[in-house]
Structure 1
Amino acid sequence: MYKTLKECLMLVAALPVFWAGAAQAQQNYKMQPEAIQSRWAKLVSPANALKEYPRPQMVRAGWTNLNGLWDYAITVKDAAKPAVFEGQILVPYPIESALSGVKKALLPTQNLWYKRNVQVSGLKPGERTLLHFGAVDWQCWVYVNGREVGQHTGGYSEFSFDITDALKAGSNELLLKVFDPTGAGIGPHGKQVLDPQNIYYTPSSGIWQTVWLEVVPEAYVKGLKLTPDIDKGILRLKVDAGEGFQVEAIAWAAGVSTGSVSGSPGSELALPVKNGKLWSPASPFLYDLVVRLKKNGKVVDEVKSYFGMRKISIGKDAAGVDRIFLNNKPYYNLGTLDQGFWPDGLYTAPTDEALAFDIKAIKAMGFNTIRKHIKVEPARWYYHADKLGMLVWQDLVNPNQGLPEGSKAEFERESAAELAQLHNYPSVVCWVLFNEKWGQYDQKRLSNWVKQTDPSRILNGHSGELLYVNEVLRSPSPDAYVDADMTDVHAYPDPMNSVKQPGKAQVCGEFGGIGVFIPDHQWLTGSAWGYIQEKPAGLMAKYKIMNQHLQLFEKQGLSGSIYTQPFDVEGEQNGLMTYDREVIKIPFATLRLIHKALNPDLQVEGAVQELSRRFASLEMTTKNADLTEPGILYSAMLDQYIAGKRDVPFLKKMAMMATQAGDKPGAALAGSAYIAGMKAPLSTEDINSVVAFTKSTKDVGFALMLSQADAFKKVLGERKYTVDMMNMIFKGEMEPMMNEKQSWEAIEARVKPFGAPAEEILLRAKVVAFYNQQDWKAYVPLAKVYLEKYGANLSEQEKGMFQGAVDQHQ
């Protein structure tokens, strides 16, 4: 009998051919400070950085994990290999993250370099060595002993190179050059932006998934394609391997063989699965699979995998309503919008336990579906979803929204890789092509391309093509949801039913986004972004009412819904849990009861209680939100302030609580005292706090922002710093002088000492004033100057408005 898949996944560095060089000295590593961190961050070290087997869908014993400390350097884009490296970085955490030990930004004008040595001994004739990368964002060149072994483009796809011919006995240098322009390039980059705020977040550049070596025979299995067919009781199987070989595949359940098939690599084989157990969120049964590559009857390679027998489709229920079907039965997809960010690792979960925690927590809440939003996760995330039982709507990572030349082709190339990479996971049931018109193009053609590429899944061709905010449609769409399998509306904050179209299921692909402030669990001081704000005590009732409306919509044909979102993310405070995964804002038990009416799995007798027992230990590690009225908590702090309490952490928290309680004078008082007590040099958290509590030139923080401009620009970015300064100058100096008898000369004299930001806000104020007054004689020449100097900073809509008025009245 062979080892089970679980046993194989626990193997580490089974063949002692490779070992780390001296760069692994743990004493050189220190996690960078962060405002908050998850409980798993403190467990991370160079000795244990994500040591689990990284490819659960195709397991071999002979592998070596290369996660750990590497040397790094940042250079200008056209520079040669650096002679001296700046320090060490903990792989696979992105360079911008605290867990990397670096926490530096990578700009579009720069390259990031990685280097480490690997000792090699005992290489055998006829064996090949593969160097694997789970993901590197975005473009990279790989060198072994000074020899280029390959290039790769795409921040979400796994890749590997055969480096055998570049290796030598003894010490071998691995070198990686990375270019990641984020939004300034042509590649898909998801929610990563160089100037993170609101619904956009910090980039994750460079290596962000496991790096590893694997020893394989000369001829080996390169890949598997597994497609279940429950109607015919077979698994459709394709094996990627060389010609002139034979393939044998055997399915196992609990150590007992349940079927086998033999054939040629590259051809579709039908592996019988008689009386198969079906996979579903309620019963996520997985078969083990062994695939052997043979030559003249002799096994030359063997890999272990797994599969689930499930079917996803659109069908008509007993009343003739088009709905989502799972395993040939209607199944309401009750989901939440998971974005996969971490306060300490950004794109990279601190540990494998943390990676699985998110899925467990979402399941414990009573959801059966995750919409994985604008991100492709590591292979082990989907493995955990398969094992735990969770449906996944997988977003393709949208093209650059500006669609610069080359971005369409790059989107399609990277999307093809994503479709292939995630094909075998039974949890993935739906592809989401576009989201809210972000980079939308050729929707009909691309919808049909996705469906032809993978007919085994349903297609959400455009989630939120119709987007409503406060019941107002953002923009019409004349041929909405063309050739998709569902119609998908986004409605914030309150859910809506989507339009009915023949043969398509109706879903509400996003709703909610309720911002709830939880003291001491914020990534950004003073930020509690959400579509609406609610106090902790009010969230439960609001959320229950939303779900009651979903029940009404379900009776009218709604087949799925996605709540925004399970966890806070950076400046967004609209999760059901805090960003550090410490506080649940509605108790798990309450969420399960609310969700019971829509989740078919919870309607089975005893299911709610069983879910509670299953995740009892997880729930014990989280705290329920304090439902005390924020004003009462703040009032108690104000008493302490009056009594003389003035320590810096207290003042920071008091300023935040005052903001939430609506006491603007108290927020200004505590915020000013907090800023005044800061000590140089200012940390990133200090700088973000100054910005949060500085609204005008009259506030204490403004002088700090002026005198330490370089430090603020480094953290905020040049443009955000300029915009913040412009707003403060307008609020503190210009607004009091803006009236019917305003003197532009007097205003200019007043703001001139503040330099470039004052010059821009003054010109903008004049242009807007003359536009509103319809003083076209004064407007046209100033608007031309403004558009020429600052047009690149404007949205297309605003630029069009100003330019249109110029064209009409010049």
Structure 2
Amino acid sequence: MSIPRNEYPRPQLVRTKWVNLNGEWDFAFDDQNIGLSEKWFHKNTSFDKKIIVPFAYQTELSGIHDPSFHDIVWYAREFTVPKDWQGQRIILHFGAVDYRAWVYINGQYAGSHEGGHVSFSLDITNQLTWGVEKVVVRVEDPSTDETIPRGKQSWVEKSASIWYTRTTGIWQTVWLEPVSSTNISKLGLTPDIDHGDIIVELEISGEFVNKKAEIEINFKGKRVASDTIEIFEPYNKRSIHLYNRKIFRTSFHHIGWNWSPENPNLFDIKISLKDNENQQILDVVDSYFGMRKVHIENGMVYLNNKPYYQKLVLDQGYWPQGLLTAPTDNDFKRDIELALGMGFNGCRKHQKVEDPRFLYWADHLGFLVWGECPAFPSYSEDAVARLTKEWIEIIERDYNHPSIIAWVPGNESWGVPFIKANKQQQHHSLALYHLIHSLDQTRLVISNDGWELTKTDICAIHNYNHGSKDETAKYEDFKESLSTKEDLLCSKPSGRGIYADGFDYQGEPIILTEFGGIGFKVGEDNGWGYTSVKNSEEFVADYRRVMEAVYASKALHGFCYTQLTDVEQEINGLLTFNREPKCDLTRIKEINDIWHTNIVKL
């Protein structure tokens, strides 16, 4: 049996040695919560089911395919560590486990993690026997707890409306890696295109005295820079200039060195950590980066110091057989290629922290990404703490990906229903906005995508009020509501104002970040859309009609169409849930490309 999802799972920090632990694991439901008292974590415990990791038990690909609620589940499998790894620290990595995880190695507690959407790692060296090892994982995923970040995962058993089948437990790759006791534990790469520099930040774990880091940077196979950092403390920072006249004999700005959807140029970087005394290599990591800059100016988004019109598509990242987990790595690539083929230049990854492999393909194919974390449904102090913790971990994991140009910490006042006037909920929104900027100065932050915005870098508006083709008056109102800056800022498309009380427009770019959602049933699929059509010709015509209203606006500086694919009962995608086109996709591209010739330049 082949190992599912066997690609290297951490593309921004690559080491050559690793072991994939995906595949068949033992599995059990613990509906009575007796596993701890009965010590199911012991090495000789056996479970009554089998599951295919990294697919959640609710999915078809897991081999279980049970959508009912089971709030506590257990996993177990045996493994062996390669003998030539002895003498090194052995790290056990989990791509993502929803929602709380406790990990045991050979019956001994190794560590825990809370947060269902990002990676965590444990040093399991001291628990190993160097024979046949056993890992046991206990997971809690409270089905109806509305204070945990859950996004679109339904808190009732049957999915309905905009809420989908839940994901419980391991849903991204599990893997092992050996590292030296002195190793590179963190790598930050910050581009500065105005000076032609890449700012490299290294954190060193272990004994750092009398060590050095040798850095080599290549662009399209050519060495462009190298440097050596003498290590005197755990945290190290160096700005490395990339422009080298001897190699390029011209400015980078004239040969297309920056990263963009049109030219997704990437630099390769290798860092070797060495002992100064004996020149022993302690650690080697490979990564990559893109030289790109995002900022706002004159009411527009600028990419690499030029105004850039964003043509995004809402992407929720669900698959019929794997739910939140893509069946294969190629599924990530294909989704991006389909979107690019329709004339979109990016996506808003909606209510999901996506697998780093998606971001890898976005970086390499040239696809902008707005990153978003699932919201909690109900406000509480615990909910605030949980969401804040996840955002810190999200930014740490995904900071180096050039494709990500914006973070979206809030959506349509989810979890903060009284933000219009409630000062506590407004402070929460402001706190996330400033926290994210304090961690990441290279990207934009949208405080509450849709309406009731507080402090924000983009005025992001949702409006599905385009009506059907026969509702001409409704369509004209929709078109007028987008027409000018004044019309957009005065609109209340869902009965809510664009800004919360005490906040107003400060000149930020205005983007229509949700609209469309034209429903079209293909085959036996049943469901809903914001409007509906009966065939592919009507589908293309209605898409054109809606986009003509967007392109007629004198104030919009981009859009995000809902949505890329159908998801369960939502049949309002440009593609079916199985990624089958609902029409000739070149016709969608023709409509999206109208912007190049007809849109009013801001």
TM-score (norm 2): 0.85
Q: What residue number does 1:261 align with? A: 227
Q: What residue number does 1:214 align with? A: 177
Q: Residue 493 of structure 1 contacts residue 532 of structure 1 at CA under 8 Å; is this kept in 2? A: no
For residues 138 and 598 of structure 1, the distance between their equivalents in structure 2, rounded to whole angstroms, comes to 42
* Structure with max Cα Rg: 1
| Closer, same or farther: CA 115–504 of 1 in aligned 2, 3 Å | same
What value does the CA root-mean-square deviation take over the aligned residues? 1.9
1:422 aligned residue (398, 406, 411): 398
Q: What residue number does 1:530 align with? A: 529
Q: Residue 183 of structure 1 contacts residue 189 of structure 1 at CA under 8 Å; is this kept in 2? A: no
Task: Return the offset for 1:212.
Answer: 0.5
For residues 515 and 49 of structure 2, the distance between their equivalents in structure 1, rounded to whole angstroms, comes to 44
Q: Residue 333 of structure 1 contacts residue 599 of structure 1 at CA under 8 Å; is this kept in 2? A: no
In structure 1, list runs of 5 or more residues that go unmatched: 1-45, 317-321, 466-476, 603-810
1:595 aligned residue (571, 592, 601): 592
Corresponding residue SS for 2:515: strand
- Encode CA deviations 1:175-229: one digit per residue, 9 max, x unaligned: 0000011441532011011331111100111100000111111111112111111
Q: Residue 182 of structure 1 contacts residue 189 of structure 1 at CA under 8 Å; is this kept in 2? A: no
Task: Return the offset for 1:125.
Answer: 4.9
For residues 57 and 196 of structure 2, the distance between their equivalents in structure 1, rounded to whole angstroms, comes to 47
Task: Return the offset for 1:169.
Answer: 2.3
- Encode CA deviations 1:272-308: one digit per residue, 9 max, x unaligned: 1214400000110111000111221443111000000
Q: Residue 56 of structure 2 contacts residue 167 of structure 2 at CA under 8 Å; is this kept in 1? A: yes
Q: Which amino acid aligns with 1:448?
A: H
Q: What residue number does 2:495 align with? A: none
Q: Residue 368 of structure 1 contacts residue 599 of structure 1 at CA under 8 Å; is this kept in 2? A: no
Q: What residue number does 2:499 align with? A: none
Task: Return the offset for 1:377.
Answer: 1.1
Q: What residue number does 1:448 align with? A: 434
1:378 aligned residue (355, 362, 373): 355
Task: Return the offset for 1:539.
Answer: 1.5
For residues 143 and 390 of structure 2, the distance between their equivalents in structure 1, rounded to whole angstroms, comes to 15
Q: Residue 262 of structure 1 contacts residue 269 of structure 1 at CA under 8 Å; is this kept in 2? A: no
For residues 94 and 124 of structure 1, the distance between their equivalents in structure 2, rounded to whole angstroms, comes to 30
Q: Which amino acid aligns with 2:308?
A: Y
Q: What residue number does 2:162 align with? A: 199
Corresponding residue SS for 2:340: helix
Q: Which amino acid aligns with 1:561?
A: F
Q: What residue number does 1:307 align with? A: 289
Does residue 505 of the first structure (1) align with residue 505 of the second (2)? no
Q: What residue number does 1:576 align with? A: 574
Q: Residue 152 of structure 2 contacts residue 374 of structure 2 at CA under 8 Å; is this kept in 1? A: no
Q: What residue number does 1:130 align with? A: 91
Structure number with the higher helix fraction is 1
For residues 382 and 88 of structure 1, the distance between their equivalents in structure 2, rounded to whole angstroms, comes to 30
Q: What residue number does 1:48 align with? A: 3
Larger RCO (CA within 8 A; separation ≥ 6): 2
For residues 85 and 94 of structure 2, the distance between their equivalents in structure 1, rounded to whole angstroms, comes to 23
For residues 103 and 79 of structure 1, the distance between their equivalents in structure 2, rounded to whole angstroms, comes to 22
Q: Residue 490 of structure 1 contacts residue 511 of structure 1 at CA under 8 Å; is this kept in 2? A: yes
Q: List aligned pairs for 1:584-623, cutoff 5 A.
A: 584-598=581-595
Task: Return the offset for 1:514.
Answer: 1.1
Q: List aligned pairs for 1:172-191, cutoff 5 A.
A: 172-184=133-145, 186-191=147-152
Does residue 346 of the first structure (1) align with residue 297 of the second (2)? no
For residues 48 and 68 of structure 2, the distance between their equivalents in structure 1, rounded to whole angstroms, comes to 14
Corresponding residue SS for 1:48: coil
Q: Residue 366 of structure 1 contacts residue 599 of structure 1 at CA under 8 Å; is this kept in 2? A: no
Q: Residue 324 of structure 1 contacts residue 559 of structure 1 at CA under 8 Å; is this kept in 2? A: yes
Task: Return the offset for 1:459.
Answer: 1.2
Q: What residue number does 1:724 align with? A: none
Task: Return the offset for 1:106.
Answer: 5.9
Q: What residue number does 1:99 align with? A: 61
Corresponding residue SS for 1:222: strand
Q: List aligned pairs for 1:678-697, cutoff 5 A.
A: none
Q: List aligned pairs for 1:514-553, cutoff 5 A.
A: 514-520=518-524, 522=525, 527-536=526-535, 537-553=537-553
1:271 aligned residue (224, 240, 243): 240
Structure number with the higher strand fraction is 2
For residues 46 and 548 of structure 2, the distance between their equivalents in structure 1, rounded to whole angstroms, comes to 62
Q: Residue 220 of structure 1 contacts residue 241 of structure 1 at CA under 8 Å; is this kept in 2? A: yes
For residues 354 and 397 of structure 2, the distance between their equivalents in structure 1, rounded to whole angstroms, comes to 11
Q: What residue number does 2:120 align with? A: 159
TM-score (norm 1): 0.63
1:292 aligned residue (268, 272, 276): 272
- Encode CA deviations 1:630-653: one digit per residue, 9 max, x unaligned: xxxxxxxxxxxxxxxxxxxxxxxx
Q: Which amino acid aligns with 2:437?
A: K
For residues 228 and 182 of structure 1, the distance between their equivalents in structure 2, rounded to whole angstroms, comes to 42
| Closer, same or farther: CA 241–370 of 1 in aligned 2, 3 Å | same
Q: Residue 62 of structure 1 contacts residue 216 of structure 1 at CA under 8 Å; is this kept in 2? A: no
Q: Which amino acid aligns with 1:580?
A: N
For residues 220 and 335 of structure 1, the distance between their equivalents in structure 2, rounded to whole angstroms, comes to 39
Corresponding residue SS for 2:83: coil
For residues 546 and 69 of structure 2, the distance between their equivalents in structure 1, rounded to whole angstroms, comes to 42
Q: What residue number does 1:488 align with? A: 460
Q: Which amino acid aligns with 1:143?
A: Y
In structure 2, list runs of 5 or more residues that go unmatched: 244-250, 417-424, 467-477, 483-487, 490-503
